[in-house]
Structure 1
């Protein structure tokens, strides 16, 4: 380098992560002689570069280790040349070293895991949240695309549940979610840059389905779809607070949507029974009297604590008895069913059976009458083959019971012509 003239060659930009890379090549010269023509060359001490001298006053500026563009992408280097004369003269030359990007950084998510909430019965294509990743590289090395990774559970139909926008990381639920069927699921998303080779990273996403009050209480006891309704027996001597029965119900929702309360909606005798609000126990509220109807009908309302609340009702049949040995009386519904007109088909069957039975009885009576008439005619025209005289004494039962001691066969002949029949006793 000389005052008034320069010979300088610079490479720019310099790829990062390239140790001992040549940045610039130059030559210095001083037209003085002796010590006045001798020169020193230097740069700042805080730079990651060094000067390597060679013959004929040539110098090479090289990197002193690998550069990191993400830490510093540009350097201003001042090359100072000083002679050894008196007074010392110097000259300076400034160069700018640019550091080019290398795809050495993978995308990084803003969080290692994300928790997203979605209310059940959501509309399809609903935006439920977003994930975000950044890349400290430059240009195409910093462009990030997002994707869903295969779930750890192969049975989870992830492709039908959620999708992700590859450009911005937005997540839109694809179907309406049901809290009672799927309360939570998780999956991983990937962020990949467009460098060569491409680098990527992952983040865990957990989706929690929030419950909505979409299930009414369901009564387990007493059963409401039974053919014969259940009847509870209460002795008339029962004290106030006597436990009659307990209504048992469940709710498929969760949290306050599943908190149930009970109340007596209707009763045959208001004030005779009460229902505990929190456990569904039905108890007597006062002493029973003879004036209380023996058949009591109660309607209990079961309501959840959702917004808006959902409810169900249950009908109870209570029979007041003097003692538990008293015969069971059917509920009013059973009596009404018994008093209802019979089915036409049943009526036809009964009439047919009665007709056949009457015809059979009439045929038997006619047959007996005919036989008796024939027997009467034969008695007047024929004779009986019964021996005359007394029975031998040894054939008579002497025990006084009036029976014969041996078994005998008697023959009665009805003589009346060709139609005569013979009977044996």
Structure 2
């Protein structure tokens, strides 16, 4: 007979897990136990969990009280509005637990905020909803006519799916003059009937008896089942088979292949002929036992019909019956113990997974999972781990639960995704392991301000530009993502309050493009600086700034201006030159300036016209007018010279100046010698004085222009 309950297709093992994202104090407290009668209607009241938990009705919702079960069926439901624990479906005790008593469904109650887990159990009470049933509707017994009074003949028992007092309690036999029935009990608690001979049999008087066997359970009212018993009276066979051992104890590993020999039972019969020929059978095997073991009727070899599983059934008990040709029988008991083999890898059940998780949040619960291994001993003990190079910790929690948390605050900009492998290994031989891969995404927090590509920008702009000209761009990037990385540009208030920044430039807030709002004049404003801000759209917003320097590039838009000799329309200035002057005599010096800069202001001088060509020359780089040869009496007294002053711009701009020269015999003003002669220095000093005065006048003119511009 079996001593362990075998989980068949109808059996369920019910485990209800409650999990959340953190594990505060209070995990593992117990509630109940609660009880319910099987077949109770769906929605029936079990208990008020709100009262047992000490919570008000509003707290049931705010604290997130919930029930989660593993598997396809939810046996219980929680009415959060009332705090009542209700039956979610009719419960069939026989389907849930089979013959196991008491029938207990373990579950857990979880509160999320803060997390608390309560262990609880629901006991399903049996009702008498099944009648005893005989596996054989008719039993045949062959009893020798010389059987002594008091001999007992075992009959097949009836099966009742109920338990306890609702199971089979006794047997009755229909009225007859030869037999009464006794109710006997097996080691596993099952009751079977035995016929006891009370009156001698006489085959010649009555060769056959037909009786009705009734099995009664202990329910109220009791239920019953019947089977027919046909008794054939046979001739004398005075020796029944006897086994060499009353009990055979055998151990086999659960990985023993189908067809393997379990044990060979041997019985002896002292009779001869047909009365001494023995046939072996399993005595009253259950359906599962018939599918697990088979016996060779001739040799007594017992072999496996299917592979046994330690995790399903730990041991088996079955009686072996030996029957001789005369109908006498004996029996022995086979006790078969299944030895565990590490044939089950650990099982990992992910209960909660949070992804993405925000960066900069230390010790955040990422996942909660449970580990189980149906093997026993070291084969069922497990260790769990993750990769060592990850910023996560694996912490054991209540029973077989684990939490996966962050070690420190994570940085999304350094790494936005983690692939974590949870490895669970048992301690069996060989070790078996299970791996579960999860992906954790890191969500962005606005912890990075925009960063400009340069701390300062220098932009070159030609003067006389058209308004709204794109003069350049600034660019800033933000390492954050989403709206936290969207950058808006703006002009910051100028440090110089006199700088009319709002009328000079504008910026596109979306892309950082800078535009000149009006035409710029190099001669009025050669350069200016301002600051640009970049602000992201996070909350709170972060910002940074960069310096922009705009350098106005000169355009050749100013012609040379002649300072000396003055060309104001008054009486022309006449330069006096003695007729005794040698070649190279300094007549005068044309002084001119150009408001532009760089090469646009580089001036060159050229003699454009002369009354007497070849008599005078102009030095190209300094504007000095000198005699080209020695003067003579033949040279005319009056001369008119036209000098061209030209800048080096593109295209070049120019101005002309007219000089009047008078040749004289004597000299009433200071003598202007050649450059090598000392007196020439006086004339040069005089011209220098003229130049300084002229430049001062021009500077005043430029300053006035700047003031007008501003």
User: TM range, normalised to the smaller chain?
Assistant: 0.7 to 0.9
**C-alpha displacement at 1:153, in angstroms?**
1.3
2:487 pairs with one of 130, 144, 159: 144
CA deviations on 1:219-246 (whole Å, 9 max, x unpaired) are 1111110522211111112112111111
| 1:174 aligns to 2:497 (yes or no) | no
Superposition pairs for residues 195-214 of structure 1, below 5 Å?
195-214=538-557
Partner of 1:35: 378
Partner of 1:94: 437
**C-alpha displacement at 1:158, in angstroms?**
1.1
Partner of 1:349: none
CA distance in 1, matches of 2:663, 2:410: 96
| 1:275 aligns to 2:586 (yes or no) | no
Question: The residue matched to 2:599 in structure 1 has which SS?
Answer: helix
Give yes or no for contact 2:347–2:434 (8 Å, CA) kept in 1: no
Superposition pairs for residues 15-30 of structure 1, below 5 Å?
15-30=358-373
Question: The residue matched to 2:483 in structure 1 has which SS?
Answer: helix
Partner of 2:470: 127
**C-alpha displacement at 1:56, in angstroms?**
1.2
Partner of 1:321: 664
CA deviations on 1:117-154 (whole Å, 9 max, x unpaired) are 11111111111111111111111001011111112211
More helix by share: 1
Question: The residue matched to 1:140 in structure 2 has which SS?
Answer: helix
CA distance in 2, matches of 1:107, 1:182: 32
CA distance in 1, matches of 2:608, 2:355: 89
| 1:59 aligns to 2:394 (yes or no) | no
Superposition pairs for residues 214-253 of structure 1, below 5 Å?
214-225=557-568, 227-253=570-596
Change (3 A) 1:236 1:4: closer
Q: Which structure ranks higher in relative contact order (CA pairs < 8 Å, sequence separation ≥ 6)?
A: 1
Question: The residue matched to 2:372 in structure 1 has which SS?
Answer: coil
**C-alpha displacement at 1:42, in angstroms?**
1.0
CA deviations on 1:316-361 (whole Å, 9 max, x unpaired) are 11111111249xxxxxxxxxxxxxxxxxxxxxxxxxxxxxxxxxxx
CA distance in 1, matches of 2:515, 2:557: 23
CA distance in 2, matches of 1:121, 1:43: 69
2:633 pairs with one of 283, 290, 293: 290
Superposition pairs for residues 289-308 of structure 1, below 5 Å?
289-308=632-651
CA distance in 2, matches of 1:276, 1:34: 114
Question: The residue matched to 1:70 in structure 2 has which SS?
Answer: coil
CA distance in 1, matches of 2:496, 2:569: 42
CA deviations on 1:37-74 (whole Å, 9 max, x unpaired) are 22211111111111111221111100011111111111
**C-alpha displacement at 1:7, in angstroms?**
4.8
Partner of 1:409: none
| 1:112 aligns to 2:476 (yes or no) | no
CA distance in 1, matches of 2:568, 2:385: 100
Partner of 1:259: 602
Give yes or no for contact 2:366–2:406 (8 Å, CA) kept in 1: yes
CA deviations on 1:272-301 (whole Å, 9 max, x unpaired) are 111111111111112323332222111111
1:84 pairs with one of 403, 419, 427: 427
Question: The residue matched to 1:197 in structure 2 has which SS?
Answer: coil
Give yes or no for contact 2:489–2:533 (8 Å, CA) kept in 1: yes
CA distance in 1, matches of 2:427, 2:631: 127
Normalising by structure 2, what TM-score? Answer: 0.45
CA deviations on 1:346-388 (whole Å, 9 max, x unpaired) are xxxxxxxxxxxxxxxxxxxxxxxxxxxxxxxxxxxxxxxxxxx
Question: The residue matched to 2:506 in structure 1 has which SS?
Answer: coil
* Residue correspondences, number: 326
Normalising by structure 1, what TM-score? Answer: 0.74
| 1:159 aligns to 2:502 (yes or no) | yes
Question: The residue matched to 1:293 in structure 2 has which SS?
Answer: coil
CA distance in 1, matches of 2:450, 2:350: 43
CA deviations on 1:138-176 (whole Å, 9 max, x unpaired) are 110010111111122111111111111111111121111
Give yes or no for contact 2:385–2:424 (8 Å, CA) kept in 1: yes
2:417 pairs with one of 74, 81, 85: 74
2:526 pairs with one of 183, 204, 216: 183
| 1:310 aligns to 2:656 (yes or no) | no
Unaligned regions of 5+ residues in structure 1, if any? 327-425
Mean CA deviation greater in 191-200 or 30-39: 30-39
CA distance in 2, matches of 1:219, 1:4: 100
Give yes or no for contact 2:535–2:541 (8 Å, CA) kept in 1: yes
**C-alpha displacement at 1:90, in angstroms?**
2.0
CA distance in 1, matches of 2:436, 2:614: 107
Give yes or no for contact 2:348–2:436 (8 Å, CA) kept in 1: no
**C-alpha displacement at 1:23, in angstroms?**
0.5
CA distance in 1, matches of 2:644, 2:350: 100
Q: Report the RMSD for the aligned CA atoms in angstroms.
A: 1.7
Give yes or no for contact 2:449–2:544 (8 Å, CA) kept in 1: yes
CA distance in 2, matches of 1:251, 1:7: 84
CA distance in 2, matches of 1:60, 1:32: 23
More strand by share: 2
Partner of 1:378: none
CA distance in 2, matches of 1:288, 1:4: 121
